[in-house]
Amino acid sequence: MADEIKQLFEKRLGRYQATIALEKTDRMPIATGSNYFAEVYSGNTKQETIYDSEKWLRAEEAFIRDFPEVDVLRNNRIWGPLYDAVGCKTYKLPGRDLSPRTQFQFVEDEYMKADEYDVLINNPLEFMMDRLLPRVLGELAEPGSIRARMALLKGGMAQVMMSQIMRNRSLYLEQKLGMPQPMTGFFLAPFDALADVMRGLRGVLLDIYRQPDKVLEACDVLVDEMVNLALATADPLKRYPIFVPTHKACFLSPKQFETFYWPSFKKTMERLIEAGYTIRAYLEGDWGHHLHHLLELPRGKVLCDIDNQGDIFKAKEILGNHLCIAGGIPDSMFILGTPQEMRERVKLLCETVGKDGGFIINGGCNIPYDTKPENYRAMIDAIIEYGTYDSSIDPKPLTGQAEESETPPLKMVTPWEVKLAELGDVQGDENLIRKPWELLEIMGYTWIWQWVL
């Protein structure tokens, strides 16, 4: 049985990886990044997904039982208790701020002031610790208070609990259900890191006009931080793409995009690709004017999700045989359409955009919560029927380049050398002390930066 599961896992992973790499495989993978439908398929509330990990897993187990053709299923969602422990203000959560059946949503505000660019540019870590976190995390509002110090303790502990949950989930999905991940680890385009939680859309648009040089400098500084965040949270085995949702590009003119968004985003992605990773980018909103820039990235290394506002046919035309794309089905069709409509749409996509591979059928960066099961079933059946390329191919995970590239060292506040100098000398095996020291430093550093998402 274990062998069968392993084979299934490898087949699914191989199919997914080959498609991203634009290599031949047996059929189009069924590989959504954010399958919201799966989370609530068994009748769970949206609150249960983020507060009751066991129920979430059971829901997906039921989903996999009924839709075994699916090739990947996501881990690593928001875990409510961590957000509560520190009082994170950037999300409204189901069951806490919203009804249990409403989906979680990002709430934007101006947490960084217009005159704080120099603080961010000169010392990003100090900026995060002293300025941003006390504003974004309500429990840290009064730095130094007992409550704030307690919140930091709880926040660290909750993070370890969450990591344990996600790790177990991932292992369970892999070893019991043969299910790989669509992505592991995350980062933001530097411009989005600045524009989402720090300045907000309104703030950053004004800054583009009022202090463009500062915006550019800040984006440059954030490249390093985003690379570090991505590498610290990515799959150490480099099997899965690293996830990047893009938020503000769709608001920018081509000129603004070229100037403020693209250079630092490109640099960040290039460094992750150099480190042996692939990337899954949600191109949210309409990227029609910006798509051609993605051709500057290495071939087959980035999977681009095209949103509902975008045009999948145009995306195929532009990105063509350079990068894999995903999308093509309006979200509303999953919810309000019929199986017949779904079948026709999938057929059309398979015969056009998907005919030579490098394509994954998906909604707009997601499968909606309210998807009708019969429509989802129709999508799968049609993909099997029209999206099979060559049944004689037996997909296997890719090996090679990824393992060879070295992961750069990760950031810490107090590197081991500093600590060692303070200790003078250690009497026993230095590595036994050094490794956990560094691991905890890296975890702490990552903890701080995750709140930009």
Partner 1 sequence: MMSLARAISDLNEGLVMDLVKHRLEMGATPLDIVEECRTGMIEVGERYSRGEYFLGDLVLSAEIFQGVMQVLAPALDKKTAPKPLGRIVFGTVEGDIHDIGKNITISLLRCHGFEVQDLGVNVPPDKFVHSLNETGASILCLSILLSSCFEALRRTVSLVRLFDREKKIKILIGGLVNEKVREYSGADGWVTDARRGVTICQKWMGVL
Angle at 227 between CA 224 and CA 231, to 5 degrees: 140
When asked if residue 149 is in the footprint of partner 1 (CB under 8 A), the reply is no
Helices (H), 325-424: 331-336, 339-351, 373-386, 401-404, 416-423
Q: Which two tokens stand for residue 108?
A: 């934007």
Of 87, 156, 330, 444, which lies in the binding site for partner 1, with binding defined by CB under 8 A? 330
Least distance in Å: CB of 42 to partner 1? 17
Only one of the segments 4-12, 133-141, 184-192, 328-336 lies at the binding site for partner 1 (rule: CB under 8 A); that segment is 328-336
Of 29, 182, 337, 395, which lies in the binding site for partner 1, with binding defined by CB under 8 A? 337
Number of Cβ atoms within 10 Å of the Cβ of 301:
21
CA distance 326 to 76: 21
CA distance 260 to 304: 20
Angle at 427 between CA 423 and CA 428, to 5 degrees: 120
Phi, psi of 432 (to 5 degrees): -65, -25
Least distance in Å: CB of 85 to partner 1? 23
Only one of the segments 103-111, 211-219, 274-282, 444-452 lies at the binding site for partner 1 (rule: CB under 8 A); that segment is 103-111
Q: Which two tokens stand for residue 154?
A: 């709880």
Least distance in Å: CB of 452 to partner 1? 20
Least distance in Å: CB of 156 to partner 1? 30
CB-wise, 78 or 201, nearer to partner 1? 201
When asked if residue 340 is in the footprint of partner 1 (CB under 8 A), the reply is no
Only one of the segments 102-110, 124-132, 388-396, 401-409 lies at the binding site for partner 1 (rule: CB under 8 A); that segment is 102-110
Phi, psi of 382 (to 5 degrees): -70, -35
CB 271 within 8 Å of CB 220: no
3-state class of 105 per DSSP? strand
Q: Which two tokens stand for residue 121?
A: 């540019």
Least distance in Å: CB of 110 to partner 1? 12
Closest by CA position to 60, among listed 164, 181, 149, 155: 181
* Binding to partner 1 in span 193-232, by CB under 8 A: 201-202, 205-206, 208-210
Q: Across the strands, what pairs with 94?
A: 98
DSSP 277-328: --EEEEE-S--TTTGGGGGGSPTTSEEEEEPTTS-HHHHHHHHTTTSEEEEE
Closest by CA position to 44, among listed 404, 369, 380, 423: 369
When asked if residue 251 is in the footprint of partner 1 (CB under 8 A), the reply is yes
Least distance in Å: CB of 256 to partner 1? 7
Of 356, 370, 374, 385, which lies in the binding site for partner 1, with binding defined by CB under 8 A? 370
Of 42, 102, 211, 446, which lies in the binding site for partner 1, with binding defined by CB under 8 A? 102
Of 62, 141, 335, 402, which lies in the binding site for partner 1, with binding defined by CB under 8 A? 335
* Binding to partner 1 in span 25-54, by CB under 8 A: 36
Only one of the segments 48-56, 113-121, 295-303, 368-376 lies at the binding site for partner 1 (rule: CB under 8 A); that segment is 368-376
β-bridge pairing 302-306 and 279-283: parallel
Site string for partner 1, 390-429 (x = CB under 8 A): ----------------------------------------
CB-wise, 24 or 101, nearer to partner 1? 101
CB-wise, 7 or 309, nearer to partner 1? 309
CB 217 within 8 Å of CB 263: no
CB 228 within 8 Å of CB 272: no
CB-wise, 9 or 334, nearer to partner 1? 334
Least distance in Å: CB of 381 to partner 1? 21
Q: Which two tokens stand for residue 124?
A: 């990003």
Least distance in Å: CB of 255 to partner 1? 9
When asked if residue 92 is in the footprint of partner 1 (CB under 8 A), the reply is yes
CB 172 within 8 Å of CB 219: no
How many residues form the binding site for partner 1 (CB under 8 A)?
35
Q: Which two tokens stand for residue 308?
A: 């509902």
Of 122, 123, 145, 332, which lies in the binding site for partner 1, with binding defined by CB under 8 A? 332
Least distance in Å: CB of 195 to partner 1? 10
CB 322 within 8 Å of CB 301: no
* Binding to partner 1 in span 294-323, by CB under 8 A: 308-309
Please classify residue 116 by burial: count the beta carbons closer than 10 Å to its beta carbon, then call 0-12 exposed, 13-18 middle and 19+ buried.
middle
CA distance 8 to 71: 9
* Binding to partner 1 in span 158-177, by CB under 8 A: none
CB-wise, 19 or 366, nearer to partner 1? 366
Strand (E) or helix (H) holding 273? helix 262-274
CB-wise, 203 or 357, nearer to partner 1? 203
CB-wise, 25 or 90, nearer to partner 1? 90
Footprint of partner 1 on this chain (CB under 8 A)?
36, 92, 98-99, 102-103, 105, 107, 201-202, 205-206, 208-210, 250-253, 256, 289, 308-309, 330-337, 364, 368-370
